[in-house]
Amino acid sequence: MDPNPRPQSAAGATAPSIIDGDQTSFMKDVIEASRNVPVLVDFWANWCGPCKTLTPILEKTVQAMGGKVRLVKIDVDRNRALVEQLAGLGLPMQSIPTVAAFWKGQIADLFQGALPESEVRRFVDALLKLAGSSAPAADLIGEARAALQSGAFDRAAALFHAAIEEDPDKPEAWAGLARAQLDGGDDEQAENTLASVPAKLAEHSEIAGARAAVALTREGRKASLARAELEARVAADPNDHEARFDLATALNAAGERDAAAEALLSIMRKQRQWHDDAARRQLLKFFEAWGVEDPATVAARRKLSALLFS
């Protein structure tokens, strides 16, 4: 067994764009490779606590970039000669972690210490811009939406973040970033993102929709804890509108949008003005959170129109 195990990626295996390097392969893995793609070099050690915090963040960020940047991890204890050589070239190696960015065979930038994920992303975004890999915000948003739909939440978040860096006046990018964070299970970060939206964009429909999605998810997760009880109450008494209303919120949180909408429509069919039209108002919140083009919105809006105008 290796007495000094290397930090592992969050996925449990080294991704193609993430490798362990050493002094014998440094020229090929870093210098030569950086002529085609930016390369981050993570200088770490097994005894270094901050390294164990930073390395997973670096790996997550690089994986989210889909091959636009690579990461080479160097154990300083096993590669003393390389560390001394780089120190002789002016690379500060007095403390670790040290992360150096290489582009076209040269050191383009570096930082030391364990930075938070947001700062690491900014560092990588700046490197990509230097390397000419930045894309128009609209292209980044399109790619991010595709990643979001496929469930690649970290990649979607990184792309939306890059779009914001490219054009901070894009409400679609801010809303998309919040939704990617929300779908990835980080409600608090999604709320922080929405709190950072420029004031002039705060009332845009995209931002309002993301804000509604965060609020409904928070409500839904609370209701989900009692879902079995709510389903039993509705089964026992189909006119228990309060239970059905809460069940709709739980269903929405579980991603069962059609069923959530149907629960609210069922209340309206039985008692349209129940609790001051609460079912219709909640359904409109669902529409706002899902988006006007979502199939569940389209189908439920059609049923709602038929109900209201029948």
Q: What are phi and psi of 135, to 5 degrees?
A: -120, 160
Structural domain total, the chain: 3
Q: Which of 18, 33, 39, 48 is catalytic?
A: 48
State the chain's mean pLDDT as an integer: 86
DSSP for residue 109: E
| H-run or E-run covering 75 | strand 70-75
Same domain? 63 vs 100: yes
| Bridge partners (DSSP) listed for residue 218 | none
Cα–Cα distances in Å, from 35 out to 40, 88, 89, 135? 13, 22, 19, 19
Is residue 7 scored above 50 in pLDDT? no
Any domain includes 245: yes
For strand 70-75 and strand 106-112, is the pairing parallel, antiparallel, or unpaired?
A: unpaired
Domain limit, last residue, from 148, 167, 202: 202
Reported residue count of the chain is 310
Q: Which two tokens stand for residue 186?
A: 């980080």
- Across-strand partners of 112? 98
Please indicate, yes or no, whether the overall pTM of this predicted structure exceeds 0.75.
no
- Residue 275's SS3 state is coil
What does the alpha-carbon distance between residue 253 and residue 216 come to, in Å, rounded to a whole number? 7
Domain boundary among 83, 115, 147: 115
CATH number at residue 285: 1.25.40.10
Question: Which of 54, 84, 115 is the C-terminal boundary of a domain?
Answer: 115
Sheet holding 39-44, edge to edge: 18-21, 70-75, 39-44, 98-103, 106-112
Q: Are strands 70-75 and 39-44 parallel, antiparallel or unpaired?
A: parallel
Q: Going along the chain, which residue ranges are E strands?
A: 18-21, 39-44, 70-75, 98-103, 106-112
Per-residue pLDDT at 178 exceeds 80 = yes
Identify the pLDDT of residue 93.
76
Question: What is the arithmetic mean of pLDDT over 246-267?
Answer: 93
- Confidence (pLDDT) at 159: 86
Does some domain include residue 149?
A: yes
Three-state secondary structure call for residue 85? helix
Say yes or no: 235 and 283 in one domain.
yes
Helices 257-270, 278-290: axis angle to 10 degrees equals 160
Strands 18-21 and 39-44: unpaired
Q: Which of 120-129, 194-203, 256-265 has the lowest mean pLDDT?
A: 120-129
> In 3-state terms, what secondary structure has residue 267?
helix
- What pLDDT score does 129 carry? 79
Is the confidence at residue 283, as pLDDT, over 90?
A: yes
In the residue annotation, 109 being an active-site residue is answered as no
Catalytic residue of the set 51, 157, 210, 214: 51
Q: Is residue 237 part of a domain?
A: yes
- Residue 259: what pLDDT? 96
Average pLDDT on 153-166 reads 86
Contact 19, 73 (CB under 8 A): yes
pLDDT digits (tens, 9 = 90+) for 67-111: 889 999 999 999 999 998 887 666 777 789 999 999 888 888 889
| Segments forming the whole domain that contains residue 176 | 137-202
Residue range 266-282, pLDDT digits in tens: 999 999 899 999 999 99
Q: Quick one: average pLDDT of 15-33? A: 88
Cβ-based burial of 169 (10 A; exposed 0-12, middle 13-18, buried ≥19): exposed
pLDDT tier for residue 149 given thresholds of 50, 70 and 90: confident
Annotation marks residue 91 as catalytic: no
Query: Is 169 part of a structural domain of the chain?
Result: yes
Question: H/E element holding 43?
Answer: strand 39-44
